[in-house]
Amino acid sequence: MLKGKTAVITGGSRGIGKAIAIKLAEMGANIVVNYRSSSIDEVLTEIKAFGVNAIGVQCDISNSEDADKLIKTAFAEFGSVDILVNNAGITKDGLIMRMKDQDFDSVINTNLKGTFNTIRSASSIMMKQRSGKIVNLTSVVGITGNAGQANYAASKAGVIGLTKSVARELASRGITCNAVAPGFIETDMTGALSDKVKEATLNTIPLKKLGTTEDVANLVGFLASDLSNYITGQVINVDGGMVM
């Protein structure tokens, strides 16, 4: 379904990004996996098992020059950038009265500025191609807010505004831009939470279970494919009914 397409996934070394990279490879795309510090040899081996080409690009997407290099490397290697998934994200939780400048800035710079950085670089390539699929990872807390996550929720709400603006700006060139809002997905990011917090969260989920990385990857696969051609500027939750 994505044969011959080039997909760039930020933060693809583990968690949701890794599952997305594997899903898009299974659908036939050549994959460019970005990561910051982890080793990705195993991820690349898993991806290549689907018979597609894959490269890893280490860079910090909050740095605009690095992000630009990521997109240019993808284009130089495969000749197109058809799918861009902005998945890389971090948390630095804390109550607002004690939140340090650095904890606010680093979360905004990675989650929001990083997403802007890669979209800005990819947009000129996609505009020339007159096609492209951009999928940004936001979060349900970008819609609802969350105590202790002012920085993270603000960054994810920012991603929603960015998504809708890009969708409007690039629509005439055949480019779609949508956001995926996961609820509570089992990854390293949520693994750090206490059992008490997990239990309390479970009670707010109508489907009474945590999501898997594959649940999120399945939606991203759909949004990256031609099946979603008439969908743009949307925020779609993958949250077991947590927010409705």
Nearest by Cα to 242 from 197, 214, 203, 193 = 203
Name the residues that contact ligand NDP, by CB under 6 A: 10-11, 13-17, 34-38, 60-62, 87-90, 110, 114, 137, 139, 182, 184-185, 187-190
Minimum Å gap between C-beta 86 and ligand NDP is 8
Give all strands of the β-sheet with 6-9 in edge-to-edge order. Answer: 54-58, 30-35, 6-9, 83-86, 132-137, 175-182, 235-238
108 near 152, Cβ under 8 Å? Answer: no
Residues that constitute the known binding site for NADP(+): 11-14, 87, 152-156, 185
CA 155 to chain centre: 13
Nearer to ligand NDP, 102 or 172 (CB): 102
Contacts of 231 by beta carbon, 8 Å cutoff, 6+ apart: 176, 178, 223
175 near 189, Cβ under 8 Å? Answer: no
Nearer to ligand NDP, 114 or 240 (CB): 114
Nearer to ligand NDP, 82 or 215 (CB): 215
To the query of whether residue 35 is one of the catalytic residues in this protein, the response is no
Minimum Å gap between C-beta 145 and ligand NDP is 14
Helices (H), the chain: 15-26, 41-48, 64-78, 101-108, 114-129, 141-144, 150-170, 188-191, 195-202, 213-224
Minimum Å gap between C-beta 46 and ligand NDP is 14
Q: For residue 135, which phi and psi values (nearest 5 degrees)?
A: -125, 125
- Catalytic annotation, pick one of 78, 116, 152, 222: 152
Nearer to ligand NDP, 3 or 112 (CB): 112
User: HSE (CB half, 13 Å, CA atoms) of 28?
Assistant: 7
Minimum Å gap between C-beta 91 and ligand NDP is 7
Residues that constitute the known binding site: 11-14, 87, 152-156, 185
Which residues are part of the catalytic machinery? 152
